Structure formats: structure tokens, C-alpha cells
Amino acid sequence: MTYQELINSWSTFSSEIQAFTQDLGLDTLALECDHTALRVNSNQSADLLRHEFARVGNIISDNMINGRPILIIELNTPLMMGNTAIECVELPYPSDKVYPQQGWEHIELVLDCGAADCDELTHALLEKAPQLAAIIAGETEIKVKMSSPKGDKERLANPTIAFKKNGLCIKVHSQSIKAVIASEAE
């Protein structure tokens, strides 16, 4: 997995993730897409991508989350997803899980609601997108996972709701990645 392979696959991923966003009805909410994320299965691939991404951006966070390094790279030139500019890429080093497909895995959308936990985030999201109620209740083929990942230095709660279908994932969280990173310096 190389940077060029990722760039070559961006158009397909971008189109598929936009269609999934529309299926969920999130496209009408004008949520900020603050970053996209990769999945790799080896430290060697992660090291190579770290080096390659460092040439096209700046690593603004290198933090331990759930026992593994996760980098956030702010790109010199944002990736475009339709009319949306995505400034940051999340590069997690692999965990024990082996992903069936390496490459682009998800985008993260910010619902700026100040939610401190998953219940508050769910309430705020359903207020703006009531069509998600059946999905969140587990009544559809779309899988939902709620979590509150936290980096070693983070001081800002950032609950997350992940929607997964056909190898695609869209996560909604309450804080932007840059706000979370800024909380590490406080």
C-alpha cells in the first residue's frame, strides 16, 4: 500500500462514501468532514505511508490510542470529496485485527453539539436526523457502533457513532479532530 495507490483509489472511495452519506441522509446536514482514515495490516505499510504522507503534509498528532500509535496528518493540499475539502488523514498503526481490505476506510463528520458521551451524541444526531432512528435501533442491515476513544493526552470528550455497510464506514463525532488535538496541549 503506497501513497500513490491511495490517491489512485480516492475517486472510487469518495464516490462510494458520498452515496452512503446520502443513503443515511447525512448529506443534508452540512456537517464538517474533518478527516478521512486508512486501514493497514502491517507496521511496515504504516511506516511507509507515514514517510510518504510527511512529504505532502505535516504530522499534527502522533498519539497512543487504545494501545497503538495513531497519526493525524494535515495535508498541504486537501483531498476533495465532491465540493468538500478534507484537510486531514488519520493513519492508525495496525492492531491485532486484520482488515480484509487495506486503504481508505472511513470519513468522520463533526456534529458540533458538545456531547460528552454517546447518549448525548445520539440524542443530538436524532434531533437533526430522525430518519436514523431505525438504523441506530439495529433494525436495518447497517451496523452501528458507539465508542468513546481517547488518546493518552486528550482532555476533550469525543464520543463517536459509526455507521458501517459493505466495507464503508461513516463516523459522526462531537468535536473536530483539530479541537481534540488542541486539548492535548492544555
Average pLDDT over residues 126-140: 95
What gap in Å lies between CA 93 and CA 69, rounded to an integer? 6
d(CA 95, CA 82): 31
Question: Average pLDDT in the 97-116 region?
Answer: 89
Pair type for strands 160-165 and 84-92 = unpaired
Q: 56: closest CA among 110, 102, 107, 10?
A: 10
Model confidence, pTM? 0.90
> CB of 145 within 8 A of CB of 164?
yes
- The confidence score (pLDDT) of residue 118 equals 92
Q: What's the CATH code of the domain at 30? A: 3.10.180.10
- The conformation of residue 174, written as its DSSP 8-state character, comes to S
Span 163-179, pLDDT tens digits: 999 989 999 999 888 88
The residue among 170 and 154 whose pLDDT is bigger is 170
Residues in contact with 47: Cβ distance below 8 Å, sequence separation at least 6, in sequence order: none
**Residue 184 near residue 153, CB atoms below 8 Å:** yes
**Dihedral angle, C-alpha 149, 162, 136, 14, nearest 10 °:** 160
Give the residue-averaged pLDDT of 135-148: 93
Q: For the chain, what is the domain count?
A: 1
- For residue 55, pLDDT beyond 60: yes
% of the chain exceeding 70 in pLDDT? 95
Report pLDDT for 155.
Answer: 61
Domain with 75, as residue range(s), is: 3-184
Q: Please give the residue that has the higher pLDDT: either 37 or 65.
A: 37
Task: Give the pLDDT of residue 150.
Answer: 58
pLDDT at 122 over 90: yes
